[in-house]
Structure 1
Amino acid sequence: MNMTLPLKSRPEVTVCIACRNEEANAEAIAAAVCEKMESVGADFDIIFIDNESSDRTVEIVKGMCARDPRIKLIKNTRNYGQMRSPTHAIYEAGGRAVISMCADFQDSPDLLPEFVRRWRAGVPIVLGIREREKSGLILSAVRSMSYAMQRRFGDYQIIPNATGFGIYDAKVVRAIEQLNEPEPFFRGLLVETGYKIEQIPFARPPRAGGRSKNNFFTLLDFALNGLAGSSGNLLRAPLYVAFLFGLLTAACMLGAVWAAFAGQSWQLWLFAAMLEGQFTLLFLFLGLLGVQVKLISDRTRNQPLVLEEERVNFPPDYKGTASTPEYEKAGTGV
């Protein structure tokens, strides 16, 4: 028998906080979240998900768990990256709505009351949009390139400067979990669901403590993973290249015929046609292979996002929002 926590015992909202080496921020972010959620009378709990911290983050969160039953902890067996770990926490959340944010105050807790109010008013997804921020030339170039490639090749358009910080109704979380993405680019998947999205711009606050875990390589990896995970068109790109080389091959063949009739040297034309024909076959093969890889991926995606080492403050019958379809019968915030 599949045991689930009764609806009346479930929190209205679960706040999921991703962290790694955030000993300087863990207690402060929990206190800020509690203050903002209590200000709108929300029944809530908080899930910290730790991605293999090497400092005192886990110890500090466990101390908070001992003092406040609303605070929970999931400790991963290793570092599962910036996409899989936060998404796992969202799937394990028990609230009728889920808020996702980071522990370092880059996602402003001041927006939480407005998130809850808009969700209660019937909006299934509300996202905080960071105002344009100053960054180095290289990081700005990578960010611009990522958005440009998403617009050109993406199966759906992501929202620039949306990091995933926001509130999502239970039915949205459930729809995304059913996609069974092994590397979930969550902010892109929110758009893919087709549910209405409202945006709230906010200025990026300074870090409260610690150092950013991102650098050029982690941001580039995140951008490439997001593009690969949200774009079937990218896998078909070699087919378009093959078509262009096919046109060049045909043009060179016509050039060889013209040169032969005109008494000109036709050997170079024929050599170019043969060379471009080989590229045509190569890119055609790569394009067909890419389409097959996409089909195989769609049919076989079935792996856990993370492996958990430990859970703290989770009741035995606590069940994630994503696997609780009875919310649709009982009514949600939307």
Structure 2
Amino acid sequence: MTPELSIVIPCFNEEENVRAICAAVTAEAAQHARSHEILLIDNCSTDGTRALMRALCAEDPRIRAIFNNRNYGQMRSPTYGIYQAEGAAVIGMCADFQDPPAMIGAFVAQWRAGAQVVLAQRRSERTSPLLGAVRRLGYALLRRFGDIPVIPGATGFGLFDRVVVDTLAAWNEPEPFFRGMLVESGFRLAVVPVDRPERAAGTSKNGIGALASFALSALAGSAKSLLRLPILLACVAAGIAGLTALGVIVAGLLDGPILALIGFALAFGMFAVLLLFLGLIGEQVRMLAERSRNVPLVIEEERINFPADRARPAARTLIRRP
């Protein structure tokens, strides 16, 4: 029987949290949904997470598991899990309790009131100053240059109606910026404020490198107008280059090395900006290549507790629900 509610929980080295999060989610879902399933998708953990997932599946047939054959990153694996869920509504959340299970009731209430997308919006952020600065910079760039508005504080923790999930699955995005796709799709959206708690146990997998990679993929996928800026910058750079050349000539005549150094600094600054936009163009080209190859979001190694008709997705539908 198709469940009313699916809760998708992506995992990577979450042996300290996976059993507790399943218990907390089960308790909340039992109160607010007529029926539910929990779908755990493991991104090739190297600790004891998979063994615990197998045990949980053996204890409760409503808990299902997908094991990826390698780590596919923080954009592809969670989105693939959402596409594989069967519920009339699907909730995506983290395994470490930074997305509070207690929000499930509020999400379901908004959904039953008519919202097709319900997103949690953080009112507070507990992170290091450096990570916080990188995150704020990424969102500032998306707000300024993105093709669609970004909801401040919304991380993708929320509920999505079945029609939303099926629509986005058909888009065939190779690096899905899912929270941006939700807004771009134009479905009825509600926002629920939430205070984000501390991680329950373990260490976060989202370091500066992961956040930078995420921001680059998000910019390339949802800020296409940004790629037009190099034309404007080329004009600005030409003007600066002319002024720099004039400054170097004046510095030579007046024996002023400081002015020459300033000119070279400006030139190198513009060169750095140019390289940034070349990188974004390269990321766009890579995404176009991935679309033409029809590369799946993930390749499964194994799935557990799925019904017979969902035991294994067809080879050409790995990106979408079978």
Q: Same fold (TM over 0.5)?
A: yes
RMSD: 3.0
Query: Partner of 2:309: helix, strand, or coil?
Result: coil
> How far, CA to CA, are the matches of 2:31 and 2:239 in structure 1?
65
Q: Does the aligned pair in 1 maintain the 2:118–2:158 contact within 8 Å?
A: yes
TM-score by length of 1: 0.78
Q: Quote how far apart the aligned CAs of 1:250 are.
A: 10
The answer for the alignment partner of 1:307 in structure 2 is 299
User: 1:21 matched to which residue of 2?
Assistant: 13
Residue 169 (str. 1) matches residue 161 (str. 2): yes
CA distance in 2 between partners of 1:138 and 1:144 (Å)? 10
> What is the Cα deviation at residue 243 of structure 1?
3.7
Which protein is bigger by CA-based radius of gyration? 1
Partner of 2:234: 242
Distance 1:44 1:141 in 2: 38
CA gap 1:137/1:26 in 2 versus in 1, 3 angstroms:
closer
Match of 1:32 in 2: 24
Determine helix, strand or coil for the equivalent of 2:39. strand
Residue identity in the other structure for 1:181: E
Tell me, in whole angstroms, the C-alpha distance in 2 between the residues paired with 1:170 and 1:45.
14
After TM superposition, the structure 1 = structure 2 runs for residues 264-279 of structure 1, keeping only pairs within 5 Å, are none
CA contact (8 A) 1:65 1:72 kept: yes
One of 104, 107, 119 as aligned partner of 1:115: 107
Distance change >3 Å, CA 301–CA 120, structure 1 → 2:
farther
- SS of residue matched to 1:79: coil
| Length-normalised TM-score, structure 2 | 0.80
2:136 partner amino acid: S
SS, match of residue 182 in structure 1: coil
Q: What letter is aligned with 1:136?
A: S
Instruction: Give the whole-Å Cα distance in 2 for the aligned partners of 1:307 and 1:166.
Output: 25
Task: Please identify runs of 4+ aligned residues in structure 1 that moved more than 4 A.
Answer: 245-252, 289-292, 294-299
Where structure 1 has 5 or more consecutive residues not aligned to the other structure, the ranges are: 1-8, 256-275, 325-334
Q: Which runs of 5+ in 2 are unaligned?
A: 247-266
1:49-105 Cα deviation digits (max 9, x unpaired): 001111111111111111111000000001111000000101111111110001110
| Residues paired across the two proteins, number | 288
> Out of 47, 70, 75, which is 1:78 matched to?
70
Match of residue 256 from structure 2: none
Q: Distance in 2 between matches of 1:239 and 1:290?
A: 13
Percentage of identical aligned residues: 48
Q: State the distance in 2 between where 1:298 and 1:215 align.
A: 26
Task: Tell me the distance in 1 between the aligned counterparts of 2:3 and 2:132.
Answer: 40
- CA distance in 2: counterparts of 1:315 and 1:323, whole angstroms: 14
- The amino acid of 1:80's aligned partner reads Y
| 1:65 matched to 2:57 | yes
Counterparts of 2:5 and 2:298, CA distance in 1: 23
- The offset of 1:299, in angstroms, is 6.5
Cα deviation digits, residues 251-277 of structure 1 (max 9, x gap) = 99xx9xxxxxxxxxxxxxxxxxxxx9x
**Aligned counterparts of 1:305 and 1:32: Cα–Cα separation in 2:** 28
* 1:219 aligns to 2:211 (yes or no): yes
Question: How do residues 149-188 of structure 1 correspond to structure 2 at under 5 angstroms?
Answer: 149-188=141-180
Which of 214, 223, 230 matches 1:231? 223
Structure 1 residue 245, shift from structure 2 partner: 4.6
